[in-house]
Amino acid sequence: MTQDKSQRLLNQQIGEAAADWLVAFCEGEVDASGREAFLEWLRTSPEHVRAYLRISAMWEDQDLFARSRKLDADALVQRALTQSNVVSLSGGEAGAADEGDAREASPRPARRKTGLRFSIAASVLGATVGIAMFGWLRFNAPLVYETAIGEQRTVTLSDGSILSLNARSKVVVRYDEARRSVDLVEGQALFKVASNPLRPFIVHSDNAAIRAVGTQFDVSRRLDKTVVTVVEGRVAVSETGSRGGGVLTPASNSAEPGVAAFVSAGEQVIATASEVTTVQRADIAAATAWMDGKLVFRSLPLAEVIDEFNRHTPRRFVLEDAQLADIRISGIFSFTDTAQLTDFLRERFGVAVRETDSEIRLARR
């Protein structure tokens, strides 16, 4: 048998298997063992993932099946996309097959010779434009992780890096073969980066881009600045993080073009729209106290303090008097106990506090 013919035969078998799985899920015939078999089938080859996603997308567009009937399969597909043990089907493997023994290496559901299955298979085999290749999906499709008010979350990324999100935070993760890129859209995150010198790990946060290879660092995106604190290793803070096209003023310890500052373990920098501050010693315990349910402030403006509290409490702090915004606050607070802050503000600064079910309003007396 020629290589082209055996490849066509293999593609036909993959398409039929994908159709069988789609029908099985839509008819509610897949039990726990069947779901594991489906996951194993997906892992066997990117071609299996591509075939299933293509057929699913086409038939979903035609509203043939209720969305609720496909959620189970969709979750399994996403799970398979994060696995590292997916093996590609090479041309040599396809060419070695013949008409008598080309077949799937892993389980598939019992074949149902229904008009539905054959019409689906025909659509798959006749389609000339499919959705993206598995490799493109794996390396380029962004993943979004976010937390609500009062929620924290830890995620292990596909390369083994660990991402811890503070409350009311959001990141967009984009991996490709050359780099690992994370956009901190809002809030605060602690990154423990798996070392890979050939594939740098870069975090973008408004006015800063932080490049690391193997390290642990905290990035906090605040009202008008980004605070970068390095726990382990070393990072480079780059001017390319300025999305508005501005130029960051380099710190004194960087002679590398495009790098505003190098920051080592135990150090911190602050990036604004116009500059990166001189590298300074950091209070690591204070910067990462949120991991233990604490907020530590060292002469921080009240406007930033209440912004931090508002990440963690459903009752929002509201400044009724703008003159209070620049009051400097120092102390250690539990972010689940708003009374600690309100009592402190009353006693230390004479702030008037008016509380409702949804808000805590602050004003001068």
Q: Is residue 34 part of a domain?
A: yes
**Which residue pairs, CB below 8 angstroms and at least 24 apart, start in 303-307?**
303/223, 304/222, 304/223, 305/329, 305/341, 306/362, 307/222, 307/223
Q: Which of 236, 256, 283 is the last residue of a domain?
A: 283
The reported pTM is: 0.61
pLDDT number for residue 130? 38
Same domain, 78 and 132: yes
Same domain, 157 and 184: yes
Give me the average pLDDT of each 10-residue run along the chain (365 residues).
Answer: 61 78 73 80 78 69 44 55 46 40 49 48 40 44 89 92 95 91 96 92 90 91 91 86 38 60 93 86 94 93 94 93 93 92 94 94 91
Same domain, 73 and 169: no
Q: Which of 137, 171, 200 is the last residue of a domain?
A: 137
- Domain of 159: which CATH number? 2.60.120.1440
Same domain, 324 and 273: no
Same domain, 46 and 131: yes
pLDDT number for residue 8? 65
Same domain, 182 and 261: yes
Same domain, 148 and 260: yes
pLDDT number for residue 118? 46
Same domain, 316 and 208: no
Same domain, 10 and 62: yes
Same domain, 265 and 298: no
Per-residue three-class SS string for the chain: CCHHHHHHHHHHHHHHHHHHHHHHHHCCCCCHHHHHHHHHHHHHCHHHHHHHHHHHHHHHHCCCCCHHHCHHHHHHHHHHHCCCCCCCCCHHHHHHCCCCCCCCCCCCCCCCCCHHHHHHHHHHHHCCCCCCCHHHHHHHCCEEEECCCCCCEEEECCCCCEEEECCCCEEEEEECCCCEEEEEEEEEEEEECCCCCCCCEEEEECEEEEEECCCEEEEEECCCCEEEEEEECEEEEEEEEECCCCCCECCCCCCCCCEEEEEECCEEEEECCCEECCCEECCHHHHCHHHHCEEEEEEEEHHHHHHHHCCCCCCEEEECCHHHCCCEEEEEEECCCHHHHHHHHHHHHCEEEEECCCEEEEEEC
Q: Is residue 10 part of a domain?
A: yes
Q: Is residue 288 part of a domain?
A: no
pLDDT number for residue 172? 94
Enter the tokens of residue 34.
């069947």
pLDDT number for residue 80? 55
| Full residue range of the structural domain in which residue 190 is found | 142-283
pLDDT number for residue 87? 42
Same domain, 152 and 116: no
Domain count, the chain: 3
pLDDT number for residue 110? 55
pLDDT number for residue 68? 39
pLDDT digits (tens, 9 = 90+) for 99-135: 444 344 445 565 544 444 444 444 444 443 333 344 4
